[in-house]
Every structure is written in structure tokens, then in C-alpha cells.
Amino acid sequence: MKRLAVIFLALILCAYFFYEVDRRRQAEAPPPKLMLLPSKEMTRVISFGHETLAAQLICYNSMFFFGSLEKPPTPATLRELYHTLDTVTYLDPYNMDGYYFANGMLSWNISFLEPLNELLLRGMAHRPWDWQLPFFYGFNQFYFLKKPKEAAVYFEKAYQLNPKNAFLPTFIARLYYEADATEAAIAFLEEMIRTAEKAKLRKYMLVRLEALQAVSLIEHAVKLYVKKYETVPQSLEALVDRGLLKGIPSDPYGGEFYLDEKGRVGTTSKFAYAHKKRRKKK
């Protein structure tokens, strides 16, 4: 009976102190920080054959750390994160969580784009089946580094790995066009149309192809003009008047083609259908 009483008393005291610990934990806890890691080579050695598990644990630590941050991370914190995720993907180069988290956190800071892209290239080398990695890489090239041609190449890889991305083919063709590689855009679209299974997608791509073929026709005439007159034509009419173009082709998107001051072909539609006119209010 005495023993039971002691156990019961101890239990009550234990519950009370647990309550106190739990209540004070938030105030007493040190600020969260990223796991301190040695060099990636040393981390691999001390994983003792459990690199996959070690990589996932380190990745979880960095995810929880960033989840608990109240302010945006400083460049120094991002540098530490890069080192952590570089270690994660070195230990387990197949770890998609590491690449995904790195892309989400580091891509918005321009100074980390080059090392981030190196991580993504590591991922692409090890996960050749994964469409997301070339997609991330292509997006970084297009949006942050303003390199449409490189972006198009990696978006094309992403599309080949996952043809369900219906918006990609026309987008890739547009990127090739922006990179002054209209012929590459046409070749890519022709191949996509040949293998497209969905009629609706094929229809979209045919319209984009028609527009790019028109651009290619005008670009060809511009080249002939420059070669002959050693100057850039000022308008499309100049090409028609000199007999280099039979007529101004029509834009299937409803816009009008024009030449800018550098002789580059553009269209008022910007390769997109004009918004449907709003219905008049009754």
C-alpha cells in the first residue's frame, strides 16, 4: 500500500514537472539552427553505409529549421543551407527532397543561382527519369538568368520525360523564337505535332507552327535584304516592294507582324490570342 502511494505521488509530481517543462520550453529553447556538418566527404565517411538515411535526416533538419524561421533568411543562412543541401545531395545524389528544397529556397537569390544549377545538374545526372529537375533548371535559366535558348533545351527535356505537360511545347517554341532560333522552334514543334496524341494539343501546336513559319519566312526575306542593301529594312512593306516577300503573311493569333528598329520580326499578338471582348452589360 505504501509503495502504491509513493508511485502515485511520484506520478503526480512527474506530470506537474512535465507540464512546467512543456510550458517553459518555448521561452528557454535556444534559437533553431542548422545542423553543423563537417565537409561532405567526411560526413559520408561517418555515415557508415547509411548515406540515404543520413541525407534524409540532414534534409529534415534544414526543412524544420526553415519552417521555424520568423524572418526571411539572410544570405549567410542561405550559404549554410547551400552547404547543407550540397552535402545531402552528395550523400544521396538521388534524393529529390534535397533538390526540390534547394530550388525552392535558393533560386530567388541571384547569387546562389549558379551553385544551385550545379546541384540540379547533379540531380539530372542521377535521376535521368525525372522531368522536374530539367524543368526547374529551365525555369531558372528563363526567369532568373534570362537565357531563353538554354531554358528551351531543358524544358524540351522535361517535356520528353513527361509529355503530359500540355503547355510546354508551345512555350518551348516561343523561347526558341525569343532566342532568335526560329528554325529550332519549327523543328521542335513539327516533331511534337507528329507524336502528339491529343487532338486539342495538336491544334494549339499547329497554330504556333503556322505563326513561326510566317516569322521564318519574314526573317529569311530580312536576311536577303541585309545582304543586298547592307542595311536593316525599316518595314515589312519595304520587303514586299523590293520583291523579297510576296505579301505580308497573316498572324494566326489575330495580330499583325512588324519589324523593330533592329530588323527583328515581332507581332502585335505576342503569339497569344487576344482576350475575348467582354460581354456588354445589359
Q: Is residue 86 a contact residue for another protein (CB under 8 A)?
A: no
Q: Is residue 40 a contact residue for another protein (CB under 8 A)?
A: no
Q: If you write DSSP's letter for every residue of 221-250 in order, what string do you get?
A: HHHHHHHHHSS--SSHHHHHHTTSSSSPPP
Q: Is residue 251 a contact residue for another protein (CB under 8 A)?
A: no
Of the candidates 21, 45, 121, 274, which one interacts with another protein according to CB under 8 A?
45
Per CB under 8 A, the segment of 38-46, 148-156, 198-206, 232-240 that binds another protein is: 38-46
Cα–Cα distance measured from residue 79 to residue 265, given in angstroms and rounded to the nearest whole number: 43
Cα–Cα distance measured from residue 101 to residue 108, given in angstroms and rounded to the nearest whole number: 12
Cα–Cα distance measured from residue 204 to residue 207, given in angstroms and rounded to the nearest whole number: 5
Shortest approach of another protein to residue 56 CB, angstroms? 5
DSSP state of 258: E
267 DSSP β-pair partners: 257
Interaction residues for another protein, span 90-109 (CB under 8 A): 92, 94-97, 100-101
Interaction residues for another protein, span 115-174 (CB under 8 A): 127, 129-130, 132
Closer residue to another protein (CB): 131 or 271: 131
Length of the chain: 282
Sole residue written with cell 529553447 = 29
Q: 222 with 249: CB under 8 angstroms?
A: no
Q: Of 156, 275, 245, 257, give the one whose Cα is nearest residue 212.
A: 257
Per CB under 8 A, the segment of 12-20, 88-96, 171-179, 268-276 that binds another protein is: 88-96
> Total residues contacting another protein (rule CB under 8 A)?
23
Cα–Cα distance measured from residue 124 to residue 103, given in angstroms and rounded to the nearest whole number: 13
Closer residue to another protein (CB): 52 or 68: 52
Cα–Cα distance measured from residue 185 to residue 48, given in angstroms and rounded to the nearest whole number: 49
Per CB under 8 A, the segment of 48-56, 204-212, 229-237, 264-272 that binds another protein is: 48-56
Per CB under 8 A, the segment of 15-23, 39-47, 206-214, 262-270 that binds another protein is: 39-47
Cα–Cα distance measured from residue 139 to residue 255, given in angstroms and rounded to the nearest whole number: 27
Q: Is residue 84 a contact residue for another protein (CB under 8 A)?
A: no
Q: Is residue 60 a contact residue for another protein (CB under 8 A)?
A: yes
Closer residue to another protein (CB): 52 or 111: 52
Q: Are strands 265-267 and 257-259 parallel, antiparallel or unpaired?
A: antiparallel
Of the candidates 34, 35, 63, 193, which one interacts with another protein according to CB under 8 A?
63
**List of residues contacting another protein (CB under 8 A):** 41, 44-46, 48-50, 52-53, 56, 60, 63, 92, 94-97, 100-101, 127, 129-130, 132
